[in-house]
């Protein structure tokens, strides 16, 4: 015996509400299997829910699409900062600069490796220290480090910062859209449940198969349990 399954995705919720709404538009109120009051509520709510879901999908897609370009800027910033620190360390190794100069760049005097650049925060903080440190040193008369120049490092760092800011805006937009849909789901589920209950109650005296077929026209969904599907398939094979 198949059982009724309520929608558990936003797409399924929209399909269920649209099916019930279409029936309400085509049938006279006296012929409709659920109340006119629920029809009015559904007619008002469904477009708002569908719009919220669509806006959420657009916001999520924009964030995902932009993330690909954002990662390009991340990798560029990481690469230029890493290469600059390596050039700095080589200059110290060749004794062209003293070890103590590292503190000007926000680095420990004895730290001979490239600092971690794995997170946004690390890139932001390290990049700021490196750029400010090199600019201070050259203002004091120091010879600029090359390959890469600090101007190139700064350019890619600023592009990363702009991309980071833009990605944060898109992420916030996506989060707000998700929260809006989440706040509407309970009402959507309540409306669908009440309508489906009314429809099944309207046809409670109709034979099971005919009742299900009619209810399905209103958007109700019925599914067989796994064991029942197996039995049905076995019966069909024996009958063939």
Q: Where are the domains of the chain?
A: 3-239
Q: Where are the alpha helices (DSSP H) in the chain?
A: 10-26, 36-93, 120-139, 150-202, 208-217, 226-239
Which pLDDT value is given to residue 80?
99
The 10s digit of each residue's pLDDT in 191-228 is: 999 999 999 999 999 999 999 999 999 999 999 887 76
Which pLDDT value is given to residue 240?
40
Residue 21 contacts residue 43 (beta carbons within 8 Å): yes
**Predicted structure pTM score:** 0.81
The backbone torsions φ and ψ at residue 4, rounded to the nearest 5 degrees and listed phi first, read -80, 135
Residues 6+ apart with CB under 8 A from 76: 156, 159, 160
| pLDDT under 50: residue ranges of the chain | 230, 232-240
């Amino acid at each position: 015996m198949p059982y009724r399954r309520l929608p558990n995705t936003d797409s399924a919720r929209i399909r269920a509400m649209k099916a019930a709404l279409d029936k309400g538009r085509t049938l006279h109120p006296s012929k409709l299997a659920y109340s006119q009051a629920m029809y009015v509520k559904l007619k008002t709510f469904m477009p708002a829910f569908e719009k919220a879901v669509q806006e959420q999908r657009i916001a999520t897609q924009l964030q995902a699409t932009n993330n690909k370009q954002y990662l390009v800027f991340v990798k560029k910033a990481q690469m230029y900062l890493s290469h600059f620190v390596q050039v700095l360390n080589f200059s110290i190794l060749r004794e062209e600069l003293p070890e103590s100069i590292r503190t000007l760049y926000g680095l420990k005097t004895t730290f001979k490796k490239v600092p971690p650049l794995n997170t946004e925060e690390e890139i932001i903080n390290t990049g700021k220290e490196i750029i400010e440190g090199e600019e201070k040193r050259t203002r004091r008369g120091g010879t600029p480090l090359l390959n890469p120049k600090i101007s190139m490092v700064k350019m890619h760092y600023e592009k990363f910062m702009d991309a980071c800011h833009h990605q944060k805006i898109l992420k916030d937009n996506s989060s707000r859209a998700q929260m809006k849909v989440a706040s509407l789901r309970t009402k959507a589920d309540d409306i669908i449940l009440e309508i489906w209950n009314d429809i099944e109650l309207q046809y409670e005296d109709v034979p099971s198969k005919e009742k299900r077929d009619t209810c399905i026209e209103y958007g109700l969904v019925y599914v067989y349990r796994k064991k029942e599907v197996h039995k049905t398939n076995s019966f069909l094979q024996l009958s063939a």
